[in-house]
Structure 1
Amino acid sequence: MTTNAPRPEILRYTAFSSSPEGGNPAGVVLDATGLDDAAMLAIAAELGYSESAFLTAPPADLGGEGGGGNGDGDGDGRAYTIRYFSPKAEVPFCGHATIATAVALAERTGPGELVFATPAGIVPVAVTEEGGAVLATLTSVEPHTEEIAGTDLAEALAALDWPAADLDPAFPPRIAFAGARHLVLAAATRARLADLAYDFARLEALMHRLDLTTVQLVWRESATVFHVRDPFPVGGVVEDPATGAAAAAFGAYARELGLVPEDAVLTLHQGEDLGRPGELTVTLRAGDPRVHVGGTGTRIV
């Protein structure tokens, strides 16, 4: 952004909750034209949310009516380039900021289909209105999972101060990707998940080495209901209140390991331990490798 450039409008929305006091807050800049990387990072740091989203015009081959996020689309087939910044760095994909941005756009131009060109790939988002609430559902890039080395797992558990015996043996540790990399660890009890006091610097160092965005900590309440928490030291945040990218990665992980059916709708509760409850819906469809993550959102006044 040049010295004399006007400051863009910075919106504040929460995702995965219909209450401003719930879910995960995100900064949203619907027209980031003229902002350079340093300016976007400065805005994200000023807001202090786990991520903020910045829209510009879509790539030429994507088309659409985005026009740099100016809201002139016709309500259908709108396309944008989107980038995400935490207070410390750019991240390749952020689910909650995508949902927040989609809700912000829908409030201006109505529900419909959106397409976001993210650093991780193309992410479509379907926005509907149900009972006065705006619901946005993103479709992830194609996911995958990979093993984690025993030494790296031991270091993660040491940083978390979690004994290996506190893990749920039905959920083997894996690194899962659906736009960003997340280490999935399952707690054997809800009490274990609730007790989170980790070594920030130690976990941050491991996550940088493994190129992880968060650590997805999970406890299974029932066949399709889970409680999750996401330490996010690499973003300068102790814990992310509701993490759409990790939810997508977890959905892929659970399906690949046969922990849930190929056709399934999972409910993830996150933020309860932070006093910001949110709910993420993860939809898996047989024959469709991608994962669909949806939820409500609302503006923070």
Structure 2
Amino acid sequence: MTLELFRKAAFTDGQNGGNNAGVAICSALPPEEEMQQIAADVGYSETAFAEKRDDGSWRVRYFTPEMEINFCGHATIALGAVFGELFGPATYPLILNDREITVAANEDGSATLVSPGTSSQALEENLKTQIMTAFSLTDSDLDPAIPPALVNAGNNHVLLPVNSRECVAQMSYPFEEMRSLQQKEGIPTIILLWRENEQTLHMRNAFAYGGLVEDPATGSAAAAVAGYFRKAGLMDFGHGPARLVFHQGDDMGIPCRLIADIPEEPGSGISLTGTVRSID
């Protein structure tokens, strides 16, 4: 068995920022315990492991330093960029644990994934209260036009839309308390989101679930939010697919930009594009 390991930053802002990801191209996927150890040694929030199948598709699994997860957006964008370097621009089918998606390696070195299908539901009131209390938020901090929700595009995320950029900038919470709650409820991230205008969104993602206070760029969360906005009637499809641009990581000093192109079809996957740079 051979394994070639790459280190990339995905969803960069030009040549700055981006969320670090490991990408392992394998002749055969290692045993689960070995993949977990490699992800821990790499030390990034996620590492993607990919094995090419006889039919041309790629079997992909994602590991944080502590556990396996079913999908990771920024690691998929990094994987797409690696495919482009190794095999050239093309669209590559990916077989995940519980679904199939694609990632395209683009001519300019960026990559575009099509997320799993999206879904959302109202946030259970007791869970909402627990999280808002932990984040020192009150109802007056929320955006009255966008109800809190449980959103999904491969992973569950709690979405708390707030009414000011300051609320996003001031994000803080008790780490161990939220880590326990997020793991108990199966919620990888909690999203604080402020809508600057119809196209521009600012978000921060608490990632105690995966052992990090915050994730600088979260593709699955961006896709889930885009799907929720579509379902809630917050998008204009008068001229074809709508677009959202997510600003994330700025408050960490790690600027990241995630571009979501949203088809009108309810529940369909979201196209997410990001630029990628290599990590020395």
Asked if Structure 1 and Structure 2 have the same fold, meaning a TM-score greater than 0.5 normalized by the shorter chain, the answer is yes
Q: How does 1:265-284 map to 2 (within 5 A)?
A: 265-284=243-262
Q: How does 1:209-228 map to 2 (within 5 A)?
A: 209-228=184-203
Q: How does 1:18-97 map to 2 (within 5 A)?
A: 21-31=16-26, 33=28, 35-58=30-53, 63-64=55-56, 79-97=57-75
Which among 80, 98, 120 is matched to residue 102 of structure 1? 80
State whether structure 2 residue 176 is matched by structure 1 residue 233. Answer: no
Return closer, same or farther for 1:22/1:120 CA change in 2, 3 Å cut-off: farther
Contact (CA 8 Å) 1:32, 1:54: kept in 2 or not?
Answer: no
Return closer, same or farther for 1:12/1:89 CA change in 2, 3 Å cut-off: same
User: What are structure 2's unaligned runs of at least 5 residues?
Assistant: none
| SS of equivalent residue, structure 2 residue 270 | strand
| SS of equivalent residue, structure 1 residue 259 | coil
Residues in 2 aligned to 1:173 and 1:219: alpha-carbon distance in whole angstroms = 12
Contact (CA 8 Å) 1:53, 1:98: kept in 2 or not?
Answer: yes
Return the offset for 1:27.
0.6
Return closer, same or farther for 1:97/1:151 CA change in 2, 3 Å cut-off: same
- Shifted more, 259-268 versus 179-188: the winner is 259-268
Which among 115, 132, 138 is matched to residue 113 of structure 2? 138
Return the offset for 1:241.
0.6
Residues in 1 aligned to 2:211 and 2:15: alpha-carbon distance in whole angstroms = 22
Return closer, same or farther for 1:106/1:31 CA change in 2, 3 Å cut-off: same
Q: CA RMSD in A?
A: 1.7
Moved over 4 A (4+): 18-21
1:170 is matched with which residue? 145
Return the offset for 1:210.
2.1
Contact (CA 8 Å) 1:24, 1:241: kept in 2 or not?
Answer: yes
Return closer, same or farther for 1:27/1:179 CA change in 2, 3 Å cut-off: same
2:271 is matched with which residue? 292
Residues in 2 aligned to 1:176 and 1:119: alpha-carbon distance in whole angstroms = 19
Residues in 2 aligned to 1:34 and 1:286: alpha-carbon distance in whole angstroms = 37
Return closer, same or farther for 1:19/1:13 CA change in 2, 3 Å cut-off: farther
TM-score (norm 1): 0.87
Return the offset for 1:48.
1.9
Which among 183, 194, 200 is matched to residue 208 of structure 1? 183
Return the offset for 1:259.
1.5
For residues 210-258 of structure 1, what are the alpha-carbon distances to aligned partners after superposition, in whole Å with 9 as ceiling and x for unaligned?
Answer: 2111112211111110011111111111111101111110100111111
Residues in 2 aligned to 1:116 and 1:207: alpha-carbon distance in whole angstroms = 27
User: What are structure 1's unaligned runs of at least 5 residues?
Assistant: 65-78
Residues in 2 aligned to 1:20 and 1:32: alpha-carbon distance in whole angstroms = 31
TM-score (norm 2): 0.93
State whether structure 2 residue 126 is matched by structure 1 residue 151. Answer: yes
| SS of equivalent residue, structure 1 residue 254 | helix
1:117 is matched with which residue? 95
